[in-house]
Amino acid sequence: MQDDLAADATAAAPIVDPAHARPHTTRDEYRSAVEQARAAAAAYYAGEQNLLDDADYDALYARIVASEREHPQWRTGDSPTAVVGTVGGDVEHSSPMLSIGNVFNSEGLRDWAAKLDRTLDRPVTRYTVEPKIDGLAIAVRYTEGRLVQIATRGNGYTGEDVTSQARLIAGLPQRLSAPVTIEIRGEVYMTDTDFAKGCDLRLAHGEPVFANPRSAAAGSLRAQRVYDVPLSFMAYAAHGVPAEHAHSHSAVIEHLGTLGVATTAQSSAGLAVCADIDEVTAAVAALGARRGELGFGIDGVVVKADLTTDQDQAGYSTRAPRWGIAYKFPADTRTTTLLRIDVQVGRTGVITPVAVLEPVQVGGVVVTSATLHNFTDLQRRDVRAGDTVYIRRAGDVIPEITGAVPDARPADAEAFSPPEHCPRCGGDIDRSNLRWRCARGRACGEKATLLYYTSRDAMDIEGLGDKILDALLAAGHITDAADLYALDVPTLAAMDRLGTVSATNLVNSIAATKTRPLSRVLTGLGIRMTGRTLSRRIARHFGTMDAILAATPAEWEQVDGIGSERATVILAELAEVAPLIAKLAAHGVNMTEPTGAVSTAATSAETSLPLRRPDGSPMTVVVTGSVPGLTRNQGNEAVEELGGKSSGSVSSKTDFVVVGDGAGSKATKAADLGLPILNADKFAQLLTAHRTGDHTTTTEILTTLTPA
């Protein structure tokens, strides 16, 4: 996580921090904003289609705060700064369910901690850091271990009784493991998997898809339907905990776990106990880096003073506890306008609908396009050009459209019509699978396929550019990659703009690629659901093309990163390109991986590789910046040659980061997470030592790994 997320804001990102927001110029503008915020909050707490996405609501709220700070006489009792929500209910809470204050960068977090220290007149004893679940807050009452009532947060003082929906909620048992009387507070939410299931259920029953997991959870908790949508619960507080378990927040959460209730500590996000604000900042960054890997949505991190004595001494303001704060992440779900729907044809003939969007910042990144998955899904969701759509992006996930705002659809918006014929070649379309494909397959994209085969990341054929390929294809000299190796100097010299010297150089350049390793050949073939990294992994696992072609589905699933679904696609792809592979082999193209890189199992030779753990598993390494003597891809290949697993993103699962000249945000993130760093010069020395068999030097270099 960058130190200051707001520093990366662009025109596409609303200002959500009140400290930087612009106040309204008139009282009427302020009142209009309050009314808009109240309406949006009512829809939000009711779990309906959102009137505003999170970022736009936060920006609206920030301007209201700024206006009330500038003009305190404008503030009214119905301001969103004065109330939690707008929807109350029949259940009175045992104590108010207050909101929590927000900060938006590490500077704000440190300012909050310093203020808390001043309030206590001493440093906070310790902190906890846990995920801020993007769900619906509820209070759950147990009497002698039996669940008796569930109430929504409502307006903070009274809530709605939703006890009848308890059967839907995983992590919230009907009976506790002990006959205690207790009130547990937490969030009802929807996991990513359950959100997808819920949307499918909605579509199957003729209803529009959910806007996002949060509104899906809130709406489903209240709804009485003929079908059940799965929900989950995670506890973050409790009242009535025995004194021996109530001395700290972390102890309360641990106790709830022993009662059988799902808690933040048991989740994939975990609960961190930190000694000081430096550890807090590192824990926040670590959780932010893993945001897209959790399997459920979080919109920030909650930081609390852990000890109950610290909390009691700090107390509450009129609206929120002083001993807790929420560090808000950039919104990973936004709304924007769908400008048009394009149809793209990939090099393997796969035909895909792609949404072109009004630029919007989602999760800290400006998004201008998003996946629409496939035509069947697009028609079921009925997303149209002109719609206001929800864009979701968690972590490094490709942006996707999760649905449209029905009430915002223009009157003249027309349903999308899928193509009748391949947009590239005009041929028939194979609609037998969810992902449509040109019936000509790879032949449809022969030029794109050839360009990929000859690219630097694949076979790296120098001198064979776009125009020469066009001429060769037009003249009928080539139809696939194997035909390149049959080209001779007279044929090429006779072509426009190619003399004998250039033709000779090109023939030699093509011939030189025959000795490229198998991993490069696999990359050049462009097998669907693989790429450079996975191609290297496959080549190293099997060693030869013959072994690859003979492998069974079960053997494919032994390759790191390949499951049954991917194995099925890869096997089908290999069967399709088998004739091309045979032609390449007949022309003398190498079909083996260098012996030092071949590995079919966690053998003793494999475990002795520098970047292998004793159990044979690879270390995860990120290379950022330049490594002396290596290109970017060669740097990644070197990681795998050394036995490691190359990754393009830094996270808490990264073992260490290689940092060279020109390193950027990845080096910064490594520093934030406190990951070990290896200088690029040392990494180059490590590679040389490994290749020369100098095991003493490799060991010495790896012992120099130091935290950022």
Condensed to tens digits (0 to 9), the pLDDT of residues 130-160 reads 999 988 999 999 999 999 999 998 888 898 9
φ, ψ for residue 76 (rounded to 5)?
A: -120, 165
Encode burial over 261-274: b for 16+ CB neighbours within 10 A, e otherwise: bbbbbbbebbbbbb
* pLDDT at site 1: 38
Reported confidence tier of residue 600, pLDDT bands at 50, 70, 90? very low
Per the model's pLDDT, the better-predicted residue between 172 and 597 turns out to be: 172
- Please give the DSSP secondary-structure letter assigned to residue 26: S
Reported confidence tier of residue 546, pLDDT bands at 50, 70, 90? very high
- Contact status, residue 559 vs residue 381, Cβ threshold 8 Å: no
**107: Cα within 13 Å, side-chain hemisphere:** 7
How does DSSP assign 329-362, residue by residue?
PPPSEEEEEEEEEEEEE-TT-BEEEEEEEEEEEE
Catalytic residue among 132, 645, 669, 682: 132
- Contact status, residue 91 vs residue 159, Cβ threshold 8 Å: yes
Rounded CA Rg of the chain: 29
Report the relative pairing of strands 146-152 and 136-143 from DSSP bridges: antiparallel
Per the model's pLDDT, the better-predicted residue between 604 and 610 turns out to be: 610
Q: Give the C-alpha distances (Å, rounded to integers) separating 109 from 106, 212, 326.
A: 5, 28, 9
* pLDDT at site 150: 95
* pLDDT at site 3: 40
Percent of the chain with pLDDT over 70: 93
Q: Please compute the mean of the pLDDT values over residues 286-291 and round it to a whole number.
A: 85
**Sign of CA pseudo-dihedral 128, 132, 135, 138:** positive
How many CB atoms are closer than 10 A to CB 135? 25
| Spatial distance between the Cα atoms of 36 and 79, rounded to a whole number of angstroms | 11
> Which strands sit side by side in the sheet containing 645-646, from one edge to the other?
645-646, 620-624, 656-659, 676-679, 706-707
- Contact status, residue 75 vs residue 69, Cβ threshold 8 Å: no
| Spatial distance between the Cα atoms of 379 and 361, rounded to a whole number of angstroms | 26
Write a three-state SS string for 234-247: EEEEEECCCHHHCC
Reported confidence tier of residue 11, pLDDT bands at 50, 70, 90? very low
Condensed to tens digits (0 to 9), the pLDDT of residues 28-72 reads 999 998 988 888 877 766 655 667 777 788 888 889 988 988 998
3-state secondary structure of 94: coil
Task: Name the binding residues.
Answer: 54-58, 99-100, 130, 153, 187, 304, 328, 422, 425, 444
* pLDDT at site 466: 83
Single-letter code of the amino acid located at 648:
G
How does DSSP assign 170-226, residue by residue?
ET--SB-SS---EEEEEEEE-BHHHHHHHHHHHHHTT-PPPS-HHHHHHHHHH---S
Helical segments of 21-82, H only? 27-46, 54-70
- Please give the DSSP secondary-structure letter assigned to residue 330: P
* pLDDT at site 341: 95
* pLDDT at site 86: 54
Task: Name the binding residues for NAD(+).
Answer: 54-58, 99-100, 130, 153, 187, 304, 328
| Spatial distance between the Cα atoms of 578 and 27, rounded to a whole number of angstroms | 73
**CA quadruple 621, 625, 631, 636: dihedral, nearest 10:** 10
Counting beta carbons within 10 angstroms of the beta carbon of residue 407, is it exposed (0 to 12), middle (13 to 18) or buried (19 or more)?
A: exposed
* pLDDT at site 8: 37
3-state secondary structure of 72: helix
Q: Please compute the mean of the pLDDT values over residues 485-499 and round it to a whole number.
A: 89
* pLDDT at site 565: 74
Reported confidence tier of residue 576, pLDDT bands at 50, 70, 90? confident
* pLDDT at site 614: 78
**258: Cα within 13 Å, side-chain hemisphere:** 11
- CA–chain centroid gap for 454, Å, is 31
Q: Answer yes or no: 132 catalytic.
A: yes
Condensed to tens digits (0 to 9), the pLDDT of residues 241-281 reads 999 999 999 999 999 999 999 999 999 899 999 999 999 99
* pLDDT at site 240: 94
Q: Please compute the mean of the pLDDT values over residues 598-605 and round it to a whole number.
A: 41
* pLDDT at site 120: 96
Across all residues in the chain, what is the average pLDDT? 86
Q: Please compute the mean of the pLDDT values over residues 362-369 and round it to a whole number.
A: 80
Encode burial over 139-149: b for 16+ CB neighbours within 10 A, e otherwise: bbbbeebebee
Percent of the chain with pLDDT over 90: 42
3-state secondary structure of 251: helix
Condensed to tens digits (0 to 9), the pLDDT of residues 81-114 reads 776 555 667 899 999 898 899 998 889 999 999 9
**Hunting for tokens 């011939």 — which residue is that?**
511
* pLDDT at site 538: 92
Residue 599 scores a pLDDT above 60: no
Reported confidence tier of residue 10, pLDDT bands at 50, 70, 90? very low
